[in-house]
Amino acid sequence: MNLWQKLFLAIGVTALVLIILFPPQISVVGSIQYLPVWYRYSIDWLRLFFWIVVIVFVTGLGITANKSDHYR
């Protein structure tokens, strides 16, 4: 892996860790807040799933787009 691929991977892993530690939680009816997981509010699983899908997609796209530098 080249430097850019490692950078995208590091950002993606950091984003996944942060979204797991601060998931979207339903604090009041109709209100979603990104609170620490230990606050014990109910988690909005659909929003969490979409965040994870987007993070994995952008990370994979960044790693794939920077693959050409690896062969120099």
Read off the pTM: 0.85
Inter-helix orientation angle 45-65/3-21, to 10°: 170
Q: Report pLDDT for 71.
A: 56
Copy the structure tokens of residue 68: 């050409």
- pLDDT < 50 positions in the chain: none
Copy the structure tokens of residue 8: 């995208």
Type of residue at 71 = Y
Q: Report pLDDT for 72.
A: 52
Helix, strand or coil for residue 25?
Answer: strand
Q: What are the residues facing 25 on neighbouring strands? A: 33, 43
Number of other CB atoms surrounding residue 24 within 10 Å: 19
